[in-house]
Copies of this chain bind each other. A is one copy, B any other.
């Protein structure tokens, strides 16, 4: 029940029941050394008054706030909002609160966000790093402050992280195209400072190698994050001399842009040009030509990251070693890459 809102304190319960504040505190925190009858009376009084512990005071005294800071690069992006959803769910289950910060894919913003979170005395931080710099994360790491990277990581840094297996994803989707018979593969990739962009490219290129198909560097472009960038960056490739028969995109968003560019030129999907994405955003299956993509377990990434962080905080669970997780991804073949008649 959302009872009255003014602060009810241990003191009020103490006065109502006649027990000291100490006893009241112990009773409410399930400490053992309280007589059952006493505890019952106190609990009843607490309920009656609508007692709600003051987490500030609790946090100040015990230096555990039960609050986790979360920094994402863009909440409005469905990938990250799904991640946040997973984090929020896990937080509720584990009885933590989350303070959300949006870095807007900006390095200074990330730094500022972390500072605010530290000022808020959060117990730990979950962060999808911007990755245009790594000092911030390095500092956090050196300071021993508990944090977990989610969705992106630094290969060269020894930190906890929970990410999708982007390399394998890149490999799988490329192999899929090759098996479908597509030969001239292009890639409209994200900015290379982002780990997932690098890994997906690596998978892409390794798959080509495995199938003996040479990598045509003129068909690879980097830096696309949005629909618009997908359109802009794919145009030159699609209009170039050696038109690709299939385009691997950094994300579903970018794929939407590429699809638009393809149609703009008058080509059809998938007959003239196959397009594949990454993430499996909700809408990708709703397109008239549904998008082939790699499904990453978005909510699960958030859930596991949260769980990992809390485990570290509460159990001090092998605090020495870092925990690095790459979650399995899944190829979701749809029409945008299916050869007619197959």
Alpha-carbon distance A111/B129, docked complex (angstroms): 33
Please pick, from B5, B56, B115, B282, the residue contacting A59 in the complex, using a CB distance under 8 A. Answer: B56
How many chain copies does the complex carry? Answer: 2
Interface stretch of the complex, out of A24-32, A35-43, A93-101, A169-177: A93-101
Check A282 against B118 for contact (C-beta < 8 Å). Answer: no
Q: A2-B115, A5-B140, A115-B2 are in contact. Are A288 and B286 (CB under 8 A)?
A: no
Return chain B residues, CB-CB under 8 Å to A52.
115, 118-119
Please pick, from B54, B81, B99, B289, the residue contacting A97 in the complex, using a CB distance under 8 A. Answer: B99
8 A Cβ contacts from A194-212 to B = none
8 A Cβ contacts from A89-142 to B = 89, 92, 97-102, 104, 111-112, 114-116, 118-121, 136, 139-140
Return chain B residues, CB-CB under 8 Å to A265.
none
Check B55 against A121 for contact (C-beta < 8 Å). Answer: yes
Check B99 against A85 for contact (C-beta < 8 Å). Answer: no
Alpha-carbon distance A121/B7, docked complex (angstroms): 9
Give per-residue flags for A62-103: 1 if the beta carbon is below 8 A from chain B beta carbons, else 0. 000101001000111110011011001100100001111110
Question: Could you list 13 examples of A-B contacts with CB < 8 Å?
Answer: A1-B139, A5-B143, A5-B144, A53-B119, A54-B60, A54-B119, A77-B81, A78-B81, A97-B120, A99-B100, A263-B288, A283-B283, A287-B288
